[in-house]
Copies of this chain bind each other. A is one copy, B any other.
Amino acid sequence: MTPKIIRTIAELRQEIAAYRRRNPEHSTVGFVPTMGYLHEGHASLLRKSASDNGLTVLSIFVNPLQFGPNEDLDKYPRDEERDIRVAAASGTQIVFIPDVNEMYPQKTLTGVTVAEITDRLCGSSRPGHFDGVATVVTKLFNIVQPDRAYFGMKDAQQIAVITRMTQDLNIPVEIVPCPIQREADGLALSSRNVYLKPAERDQALILSKSLPKVPEWLHEGLNAAQLINRLKEEIRKEPLAVIDYVDILSYPDLSTPDGQKPLIETDCTLLIALAVKFGKTRLIDNTILNPLKVGDGLCFAK
């Protein structure tokens, strides 16, 4: 089925209100906010939403607020026609594509900021990024008023930030984290992968090859600093890899684990997160694991 394409907030609200009126008791609205240029990762979020909810809304909006002055806002890849085909094939009923003027009709004086958990990982490399994300996601939640919203775990910190924001502000939406989707050879799917030159693309595989080795290293008794160094050594074997960060934090509160203790003894869920540049393209990848459960291998989320 072809989804309905909507470009204004007023029309979107009408459409969703009409849907809720037609289905007063049982039907829920699922929402997948994106910046477009959809890949299989986005499609998996849409399919999950479509299986959980009566109505699935996809938004496509490249949000200027979350790009830094030297980032890739202007060249961020776009392909609306293909996005609509992907949406249709994934069970989406509504595609909301506002332009910048529809989302920011006047200078925005209001910002939503999340403290502490935004000052590390990508927040440290991209100052202001999560303020922009928190603000636009709040706006989109207020526009769509979904019951559930779906986000990919590739942006694990983003999920932590948005989950905390919805708790702190009492936003009535359930945040549903969904697993990272990968190419057949392991590369985490990202709209930015199209920027990679062939040699960069080859060497970028070091990220998805390194992360699965972490459980083994945990068993060697490494502490956080040692594990970070081991990961950095591994990644630096590829000459084009320029490390932005490699870090290990508890999840989802993103606090630093005890630095001295072997990580295998840590009694909390850990996020092992990487950001590495290949040429001009910055890629991120991560894994979540619970050291106490590494023994049986059940908890290592690929």
Question: Does chain B have a CB within 8 A of A171?
Answer: yes
Q: Which of A115, A143, A170 has the most CB of B within 10 A?
A: A170
Bound: A128/B116 CA distance, A: 18
Bound: A19/B170 CA distance, A: 20
Interface SS of chain A: mixed
Residues of B within 8 A of A138 (CB): 169
Residues of B within 8 A of A85 (CB): none
Residues of B within 8 A of A21 (CB): 24-25
Q: A169 touching B114 by the CB < 8 A rule?
A: no
Given contacts A165-B110, A167-B106, contact A145 B172 (CB under 8 A): yes
A9 → chain B closest CB, angstroms: 7
Residues of B within 8 A of A13 (CB): 172
Residues of B within 8 A of A135 (CB): 169
Bound: A168/B105 CA distance, A: 9
Q: B106 touching A139 by the CB < 8 A rule?
A: no
Question: Does chain B have a CB within 8 A of A101?
Answer: no
- Return the chain B residue nearest A139 by Cβ: B170
A299 → chain B closest CB, angstroms: 25
How big is the A interface, by class? 20 to 34
Q: Which of A21, A138, A164 has the most CB of B within 10 A?
A: A138
- Return the chain B residue nearest A135 by Cβ: B169
Question: Does chain B have a CB within 8 A of A295?
Answer: no
A236 → chain B closest CB, angstroms: 34
Question: Does chain B have a CB within 8 A of A109?
Answer: yes
Q: A172 touching B114 by the CB < 8 A rule?
A: no
A172 → chain B closest CB, angstroms: 6
A-B contact pairs, 18 of them (CB 8 A): A21-B24, A106-B168, A109-B114, A109-B115, A109-B116, A109-B164, A109-B168, A110-B113, A110-B114, A110-B165, A110-B169, A111-B112, A111-B115, A113-B113, A138-B169, A139-B168, A139-B169, A142-B171
Q: Which 3 A-B pairs have the closest CB atoms?
A: A110-B168, A142-B170, A109-B115
